[in-house]
Structure 1
Amino acid sequence: MTMTLTEITPAECYRLLEGARFGHLSCCNAGQPYIAAIYFAFSNGVAYSFTMPGKKLDWMRANDKVCLHVEHRLSGDAWTSVVVEGRFQEFPDSDVWRSERLHAWSLLQAHSDWWEIGAMKPHELPMLEGSPHVFHGIAVTAVSGRSAMRTN
């Protein structure tokens, strides 16, 4: 048996992203890459998510070029992998961004555990004024994908 690797179309990539909710987000600062697991909701070319203050947020604010990797495992050894190149956009709690922030929340809250990865921290942060949660989107600038499956 051998493995057959094929490129998938952008349309197939978008279909996979619309059905996915877990991925790995990478960012880079001063030449150093960083990657973190995230839950997201994909709609109209944007992967919506949220995070708490920390390294990932600081780095995305410093360099808005990011990548999102999503993998879908099928039966046996088959898999599909999509890489999104995109731009980070923060949705602050302000009148200007309120509708985008509410849209992100409405998509994310459709799943009962949407908040877990973004809200869990090894050390608790003191609550100052308002919520420390930062909603954001990754706007797709390029997408590519591959699929692998065993053949006889």
Structure 2
Amino acid sequence: MPVREMTDHECMDCLSKGHFGHLACVKDGRPYIVPVHYAYGIDKMYVFSMPGQKIDWLRSNPHACLQMEERSDHGFWKSVVVQGQYHELPDSSEHHNERIHAWDLLQKRELWWEPGYLKPENNELTKSKPIFFGIVVDAISGRQTY
């Protein structure tokens, strides 16, 4: 199957229809990648998580990358990569409206809180408050088969 570059509009359309991807971050030259549910807002990807390694790493180095893919039964696929900056949405009056907006977008997706809320049993993190954050889009690219 031939592969072609997707336009920015096609990439954004794919992101808006999708909801599951892989979020990558880097600390001290070491990469870390995790599965996440996301919601696409204009120029920002919204994600929900509990405190943990990805949040610690993103706080220390806000550069992030999110990849999502779409596959069909006939072997066709699309893959979109977003490069951007971590932007935490704390539970404060300053971020209240955007945090509500992120919640509204995320809750439209089935199981939007997984895997961000799931932690191993007997883990202190499960008692922590959830964290909402955005990845501000710096660059977007995609490829697809046709």
- The normalised TM-score by structure 1 is 0.91
Q: Report the Cα distance in structure 1 between the residues aligned to 2:109 and 2:16, rounded to whole angstroms.
A: 14
Q: Percent identity?
A: 43
Q: Distance in 2 between matches of 1:51 and 1:125?
A: 14
For the aligned residues, what is the CA RMSD? 1.4
- 1:17-32 matches, cutoff 5 A: 17-32=15-30
Structure 2 unaligned segments of length 5 or more: list them. none
Uncovered stretches (5+) of structure 1, i.e. residues with no partner: none
* Residue of structure 1 equivalent to 2:6: 8
Q: Which amino acid aligns with 1:10?
A: D
- Partner Cα separation in structure 1 for residue 100 and residue 35 of structure 2: 22
- Provide the aligned length of Structure 1 versus Structure 2: 145
Query: Is 2:124 the partner of 1:125?
Result: yes
Aligned to 2:143: 146
Larger radius of gyration: 1
Pair 1:94-2:89 in alignment:
no
TM-score (structure 2 length as normaliser): 0.94
Please state how far the C-alpha of 1:122 moved relative to its aligned partner: 1.2
The alpha carbon displacement at 1:127 in A equals: 6.6
Instruction: Look up the SS of the partner of 1:76 in the other structure.
Output: coil
Q: Deviations over 1:26-83 (max 9, x none)?
A: 0000000000000011011111111111000000000101000010002322101000
Q: In 2, Cα distance between the equivalents of 1:11 and 1:53? A: 33
- 2:125, 2:78 → 1: CA distance? 41
